Amino acid sequence: MSDLGKLELLTVDQMYAADAAAVASGVTGEALMEAAGLKVAIEIRARWASRPVAVLCGPGNNGGDGFVVARHLAGAGWPVSLYLLGGREALIGDAALHAGRWTGDIHPLSPDALDGSELIVDALFGAGLARPLEGLALETVNRISETGAPCVAIDVPSGVNGDTGMVLGAAARAELTVTFFRRKPGHLLMPGRERAGSVVVADIGIPETVLEEIAPDLRSNNPGVWGDSFPWPSAGGHKYTRGHGVIVGGMSMGGAARLGSLAARRSGAGLVTVAASPEALGDYIADQPGLLTLPFRTAKEFGEILDDERKNGVLIGPGSGVSRSTQDVVLSAARRGRSLVLDADALTSFQTETDALFTAIADVPCVLTPHEGEFSRLFRMTGDKLTRARRAAEVSGSVVLLKGADTVIASPDGRAAINENAPPTLATAGAGDVLAGTILGLLVQGMPAFEAACAAVWLNGDVATSFGYGLIAEDLPAGFPAALSKLHEMLKVN
């Protein structure tokens, strides 16, 4: 596989552990801070010509990085003004050491100090901030956005929690964020992603081997996470070896299952059948001659459809209706051990009987694909998005795909991924149905549930990004061939 970047995302505690492991290996904290500040200065000089710059330093190591940035910019001839939150005597360790190497003036932090600055370096607080900004720090951060000057954040914009992406009181919108060794979850989770701007990961001398000790289980979702298990057609294969997906269709919202079926077929499923009431079947084959259909009225009849063991995956939910009947169909499919994708109405149908659902799907490969409203009805959890998705995966025993601009995919085994390639244009009716169908198409070809969910999210995001404005759900499956060809080249598949 080709090099697809640094996928691991490190929590604040894991980054502390990486720093500690680097120091234990012989790299000094002083050297790490010097490298961090130097890399920030290099990134700034690569993007902007010399101009008046205000460097805002906090009382911790983030502020220490700021002193190094100020020294290198001043050494390159830039007019630098440095402002410190608190007294210099409060600085300790490496931050105090590097503050001592700064030969310019140190001004007390003040919102008014930003007037006249044409670039602002935010070195107030890093990813480990755990409480809301207040007082002078809050006033200054609020003022950053009012100046109109570009802001460069060190590690994360001050006010953004590095683990959750949540804004604690306030956070400036950085044009550039320079972080170190690996990105943090807060760089990808909203609203931190919006506040961070372009994110550059700088190498500051932390050995890559520390990842073996830390063993991070969170990734940025891209083909490096799941590419090895992507189910490409084989020369000796045929339609039956590429899986047979079944989609439960509804009476009043047949378009949802039609979109899902088209996505399942385009993503590689050998056969796709829509099972629905006899009265509705005509709507499904009108625009897809290659789509199979079967009638059923009861859960018992649906179970008989699945007695054909070649039908190895089922999607229930898009347009199926919130009802006891939908519950029964889900339970029937689960009893037969089929891989499941449960979306929309299939989830809401169990909002008052979650134990029955989780017991039924405990031993089958299953992907749950709620948006925030469906998630809250089914799981009734509070907290940040990543934590909630992981808890839900553990409780349900299934892969949970919590949709949004920052979709989180969580596995019950602890792995998780955050997606970052979804453009705003994906917020269109039917996109979720296409996503669910894509997951089904990959599952029936033998892709594991977590990897299938991650791949489907990425694939739809890639198509939407390439398409641009004016996207509707029908455009997504039509874009799969080009996206799959691109993916094939990225992965260097033989």
pLDDT in tens, 119-157: 999 999 999 999 999 999 999 999 998 999 999 999 999
Report the pLDDT averaged over residues 284-295. 88
Give the model's confidence band at 252: pLDDT under 50 very low, under 70 low, under 90 confident, else very high: low
pLDDT band at 202 (very low <50, low <70, confident <90, very high): very high
Over residues 85-94, the mean pLDDT reads 96
Query: Do residues 349 and 323 lie in contact, with contact meaning Cβ atoms separated by under 8 Å?
Result: yes
Q: Could you tell me how many helices (H) and strands (E) the chain has, helices first? A: 19, 17
Q: Report helix, strand and coil shares of the chain as percent, to nearest 5.
A: 45, 15, 40
Closest CA to 83 of 51, 115, 129, 42: 115
Contact 373, 379 (CB under 8 A): no
Pair of tokens at residue 26: 């012989």
Q: Exposed, middle or buried: residue 391 (CB in 10 Å: 0-12, 13-18, 19+)?
A: middle
Residue range 317-334: mean pLDDT, rounded = 96
The Cα 422–Cα 407 span in angstroms is 8
Residue 76 has pLDDT above 60, yes or no: yes
Reported as a pLDDT band with limits 50, 70 and 90, residue 1 is very low
**Residue 2: is its pLDDT beyond 50?**
no
pLDDT digits (tens, 9 = 90+) for 477-487: 999 999 999 99
Domains of the chain (ranges; CATH) run: 12-216 (3.40.50.10260), 223-490 (3.40.1190.20)
Q: Indicate whether 3 pLDDT > 60.
A: no
Q: Which two tokens stand for residue 39?
A: 């890399």
Cα-only R_g, the chain:
26
Question: Beta partners for 123?
Answer: 57
pLDDT at 284 over 90: no
Burial-class residue 103 by CB neighbours within 10 Å (0-12, 13-18, 19+).
exposed
| 151 phi/psi in degrees, rounded to 5 | -115, 135
- pLDDT at residue 253 in the model: 67
CB 462 within 8 A of CB 486: yes
**Alpha helix ranges (H) inside 148-217:** 192-196, 210-214
- Tell me the average pLDDT of the chain: 96
Residue 425 has pLDDT above 60, yes or no: yes
Q: Is the pLDDT of residue 489 over 50?
A: yes
77 burial (CB, 10 Å; 0-12 / 13-18 / 19+) is exposed
Percent of the chain with pLDDT over 70: 98
